[in-house]
Every structure is written in structure tokens, then in C-alpha cells.
Chain A
Amino acid sequence: MSRRNDLWLGWLLLFPTLFVLGMFTVLPALESLYLSLFDFNAFMTRKTFVGLSNYSMLLNSPEYWQSLWVTFYFVAFTAIPSVILALFVASVLDANPFFRGILRTVFLLPVAVSSAMAAMLWIFLYNPTSGYLNFIIESFGFNGPNWLGDPQWAIPAVALASIWKELGFNVIFFLAGLASVPTDLKEAAALDGAGPVQVFRHVTLPILSPTVLFVSVISVLNAFQSFGQIHILTIGGPAGATTTMVYNLYRDAFQNFQTGSASAQAVVLFIVMLVGTSIQFRFARSRVHYR
């Protein structure tokens, strides 16, 4: 086959992927960028070019800044504990092959449950008067908080529900990563005088570092984009305490029909996530070991 034919075949094979990516990712992203420069609503009743004024309105909006801080708060409360907890659970399961099979399924079950069902379950658990969580707290003689109704507790409560939902997904990645750590290395470290914690710290964790980075990046991105749990558990409340950037965007796009402003928010969210991920990669550069 000639070089020219090879080239055509290459493009032909790439076409389905390029088409899907182009139609459903690149074009909508460019469309958002374009629409963010207009005062535009979803019913097409007006479309006026306004330049960067959608962005300046966002930057001058205290509500938007609050949603930004709420988002960071939510990401910190969700992604960090989720990664640490998943690593801990995976390490315990990895060390106990007998329970690994069944517990892996148990931890993975919430991932398979739909967000709506999971949120309903947590609504029952968080109910301040009849919820099981407060029942346990009160059995110790304390008063349980109004989990979803108290602005102070709403983010941790939604974060806990999100962690529970996503934990199994992260555990699976860590289990796969742990399975690829050569037994020889752990045995060599044990012979070199390292105890189990030192083996984990000095051998397992550095070798697992690419998986830790991957899971961290995915968890942060998922937390930034979290919507289902917030929508069902708190509807962004109380008093905007759980109105994240995505939830604010949803309200402007689908309740207030401010498509131009919502598009600008989508672009800002994209930039924030891009910066966040870049910071993670920069931080990880000298700490992640690729074999």
C-alpha cells in the first residue's frame, strides 16, 4: 500500500473518534465560548453582542464569588478525604485477600446506584428528627445537627454523601495500582528492616504515585462538576451554602434562562478546573515516579 493510501486509511480510522469528539465536545465548548460574549437567552428572543461584560458581571457579583468559595470548600471536603480514605481502604483490602472479593463489591455498590437514589437514601439518614444519623448521635447524649438545613453543616453533609458514592470507584483504581507493586520490593524492604508502615511509606506509596495522581485529578474534577447530590439534597441551599459554580450555572442556564451568563460561567469553570489540574500536575512533577 502506498504512503498516500496509508494516510487516507489513518484518517478514515480516526474519523469516528474525531467526529464524536468534535460534535459533542469541541463544538459545544466553542459554542459556549461564543455565546459567553452575547446577552442571549434560550428562547432566542434576544441576542446582543456584549463583549466581555458577562465576565465582568460575574467578577462583580458577590453571589458568584460565594459560589466559587463554596466550590473550593466542597472540592476540599470531597476530593481530599475521598482519596485518602480510598487509599486506606484499598491498602487494607490488598493486605487481606480473603475479604478482598466481597468487600470490593460492597464498596463498589454505591457507584452503581443512581445519584438520585443515593441522595434519597442520605435524605432519610440526615433527617433531623427521624434520621438514623441523629438517632446514633443522640444515643450518646448529644444533639444531632440539622444536617441539610444548617448552612454550617450542609457542605460537609453533601460531601459525605458524595464520598460514599464515589469511594468504590477510587478503591478499584488503588487496588489495581497496589496489585502492580512488585511483591519482591516489599519483601526486600522488610528484609532491609522496614516495618509495614515504612514499607508503605517508602516503597508502596512512591510506586503507587501515578495512580494517586490520577485518582486525585479525577476526584477533583468530579467534585468541581458535582451536581446530582446537591440538586436533590439541598437545591443549592440553605441560603446558598451549597450553591457551587456548577449549581449556579445550572440555575442561570435552565431556571433563569440567562444563556450568555451561563456560558461565561462554563468558561470560567473550565479555566478554574484547568488551573486546578495544572497545579496538581506541577505539585506532582517531582513526587510522582513513573516506571
Chain B
Amino acid sequence: MASVEFRNVNKAFGTNIIVPGLNLKIASGEFVALVGPSGCGKSTCLRMLAGLEQPTGGRIFIDDRDVTEISPKNRGVSMVFQSYALYPHMTVHDNLAFPLKMAKLGASEITERINEVAAMLDLSELLLRKPAQLSGGQKQRVAMGRALVRKPQVLLFDEPLSNLDAQLRVRVRSEIAALHERIKSTIVYVTHDQVEAMTLADRIAILNKGSLEQAGPPLEVYGLPRTRFVASFIGTPPMNFVKASTLHGVKIPSGTTTVGFRPEATELASSGELIRIGSGKVSLVEPLGSTTHIHLRVGDDSIIAESRGTPAQRLGDELAVSTQASSLFFFDANGNRVDAGA
């Protein structure tokens, strides 16, 4: 276990600035998810931490040791790649043994560590197989095993579930959570899937165009998004936004240009206790079983309402859209959240 610190780390490819300046501290044993849309620089940050990319500026520390110039093999980090990166010509056993052989460990210790990891990840039956003979989930477990067998100080995951189907993703997700619970290692996990980030991480760091928008525990980030970007990125379906000028009957803090409210806080009715957003026609109904997403067009804005069960609304129905005053989030012209009391 080790702490990690990005101190004003920046990265540019030619004139293209990918990470303008990242400052982030990760405590020892913490599970931090770096999330953000494609191209936001989260994988670049992870690769800089692994030593696979050299930062253009700034320093990276692992346990207060400046590792910026240190080669990947001497950083004490292991990585699980999006493609698994299993050596196709080696058996599972040899894949697991490879980092240990490179570390010049003795044969008995190699066997002991492989058995330990194989037992932990349920790989014992697969040791003689080659990667081509494994399913996606099994490959994923072997990749995790190869990363764990070195007993790294920091474990890195680069979108490890993106190649799995939805069902398997849920299962492997729970395996990763259980693994972290067991080994208590420092984990930096890159994903664009906010569900993975929310369910696995102690803290999530949301990146936008290489800049850190917000870092905090998942529910804090969800409940108190610092910026409009975070509010729109965290939460499925994303937060609804309307112009502040369209709202009446509620105190809007000065400087507010946009008001947001979550789909689950959206009511398709109006009453005196609710803040009326407007009315619009149903443009799409998405029944998901336990909930239904109803898309409406209110003026120039697209609104999504989340209802429990299978409501009676049909395409083209004209409905009133309202929400609780306490569910509103206020944002200024720069996209920063404005306090309701301001």
C-alpha cells in the first residue's frame, strides 16, 4: 500500500494539451476512480502514473518518493489493461509467473505466490490453459492475478470491464470490490462508466478536458456536484437543465443562469407545493422494468423524468413538468454551482 500524488502534472502531445495541470492526492489503501468522457485524459493520467508516458511537466509521487523519472518496472505499480494484455503464447501459469521471473524470485516462492493468487481469484483450474482458451471474465481474472502476484504498492485498472458484456460486468465488478476489501491495496481505476466508479470507489475524481472538476466520495459528488459538468456526468439519466429565466415561484440565487434537477426528482404533474418547470410533449418512453424514462420537450429544453414501474404516459401526451424546490441546483454562466442561500 502506498499513497499517490499528482503535483501539477501536465501532458501535451505536440501542441495538443491533454492534461493542463492535475493536482490530486490519493491516500494509502484508497480506491479512487478517475472518470470522465472519452478523450478527457484519464487514461493518460494513469499511464503517467504507471510510467508508460512521461509528463510534460509536474511531478508524480508514490509514497512521497518522486517517481516521475523512474522506469515503470521500478515504480512498484501493476496495471490491468483494457485489452487484458495477456501474453497469448504463455499459459495462465506462465502469465502469472512472468513478473515473478523478471523479479528473479526463486522457484518455490513463484509457485507459492501463483497458488495464492490462483486460489484468491479462482484460477487454479485454468493454470494450464492459454488465453485463447479463456472466456472474457476468466481473462479478466488472469489479468488481475498477474497484476496482484507482484504485490504492487499501487494497482492500476484501465477500463478493465469495457470489453465484457453487461451481465459479466456486474459480476467482475463485485469481484473487484471484494478483492479491494481483501487486499486493501491502493487502487487507481479509470473508467468512463459512472456506475462502476460510484459502486467501487471510495472517492471519484471527475476529469473534464484534462482538468480535475471535482474529487470526493461518490454520494457527495452526486449530491453536491461542484460544476454543471459534474452534475451532467454523474447520474443516469443525466441531470435536466433549464434556463433560470423560465422558472417562477422560487428564489433563484444571483448569478444563476441555469437550473438543474435530477430525472428522479422530476414530477409529471403540477401542484401548489411543486415548482413548475413548464409543460411539454412526450417524445420517447423507455420502459426499463422497475423504472421508466420519459423524455419530453419543454420549450427548447429536453427533459427526462424517471418514473417507478410502467406509467400510463404515451408518446405525444402533453404533460406538466415540476420538481421540488429542494431538488434544484443552480449554476452560473461559468458552469459553477451557486449555493441556494447565496
Listed in ascending order, the chain A residues whose CB lies under 8 Å from chain B are 182, 184-185, 187-195, 198, 202-203, 206-207, 209, 289, 291
Q: Inside 8 A of B102's CB, which chain A residues have their CB?
A: 192-194, 198
**B3 touches A (CB below 8 Å):** no
**B191 touches A (CB below 8 Å):** no
User: CA A188 – CA B47 in complex, angstroms?
Assistant: 11
Majority DSSP secondary structure for residues of A touching B: helix
List the 3 closest A-B pairs by CB distance, nearest first: A193-B102, A192-B99, A289-B89
User: CA A190 – CA B78 in complex, angstroms?
Assistant: 10
Within 8 A of A (CB), among B79-111: 79, 81-83, 85, 87-89, 98-99, 102-103
User: Is A194 in contact with B79, judged by CB distance below 8 angstroms?
Assistant: no
Assuming the contacts A182-B83, A184-B81, A187-B52, asked whether A192 and B88 have C-beta atoms less than 8 A apart, the reply is: no
User: CA A191 – CA B103 in complex, angstroms?
Assistant: 11
User: Is A184 in contact with B73, judged by CB distance below 8 angstroms?
Assistant: no
Listed in ascending order, the chain B residues whose CB lies under 8 Å from chain A are 50-52, 71-73, 77-79, 81-83, 85, 87-89, 98-99, 102-103, 132, 146, 150
A193: min CB distance to chain B, Å: 3
User: Is B87 in contact with A203, judged by CB distance below 8 angstroms?
Assistant: yes
A–B pairs, 30, beta carbons within 8 Å: A182-B85, A184-B81, A185-B85, A185-B88, A187-B79, A187-B81, A187-B85, A188-B85, A188-B146, A189-B98, A191-B50, A191-B51, A191-B52, A191-B73, A191-B77, A192-B73, A192-B98, A192-B99, A192-B102, A192-B146, A192-B150, A193-B99, A194-B102, A195-B73, A202-B87, A206-B89, A207-B88, A289-B89, A291-B88, A291-B132
Closest to B84 in A: A184
User: CA A188 – CA B150 in complex, angstroms?
Assistant: 13
Assuming the contacts A187-B52, A190-B72, asked whether A202 and B98 have C-beta atoms less than 8 A apart, the reply is: yes
User: CA A198 – CA B104 in complex, angstroms?
Assistant: 13
Closest to B52 in A: A187
Q: Inside 8 A of B146's CB, which chain A residues have their CB?
A: 188, 192
Q: Inside 8 A of A188's CB, which chain B residues have their CB?
A: 79, 81, 85, 87, 146
User: CA A289 – CA B132 in complex, angstroms?
Assistant: 12
Q: Inside 8 A of B87's CB, which chain A residues have their CB?
A: 185, 188-189, 202-203, 206
Q: Inside 8 A of A289's CB, which chain B residues have their CB?
A: 88-89
Closest to A186 in B: B85
Q: Inside 8 A of B71's CB, which chain A residues have their CB?
A: 190
User: CA A193 – CA B50 in complex, angstroms?
Assistant: 12
Assuming the contacts A191-B50, A191-B72, A192-B98, asked whether A184 and B85 have C-beta atoms less than 8 A apart, the reply is: yes
Q: Inside 8 A of B82's CB, which chain A residues have their CB?
A: 184
Q: Inside 8 A of A198's CB, which chain B residues have their CB?
A: 102
User: CA A191 – CA B150 in complex, angstroms?
Assistant: 10
User: CA A105 – CA B153 in complex, angstroms?
Assistant: 46
User: CA A117 – CA B146 in complex, angstroms?
Assistant: 55
Residue with the highest number of chain A CB atoms closer than 10 Å, among B51, B78, B102: B102
User: CA A202 – CA B87 in complex, angstroms?
Assistant: 9
- Among the listed A185, A194, A209, A291, which residue makes an inter-chain contact with B73, where contact means beta carbons less than 8 Å apart? A194
Assuming the contacts A182-B83, A184-B83, asked whether A191 and B78 have C-beta atoms less than 8 A apart, the reply is: yes
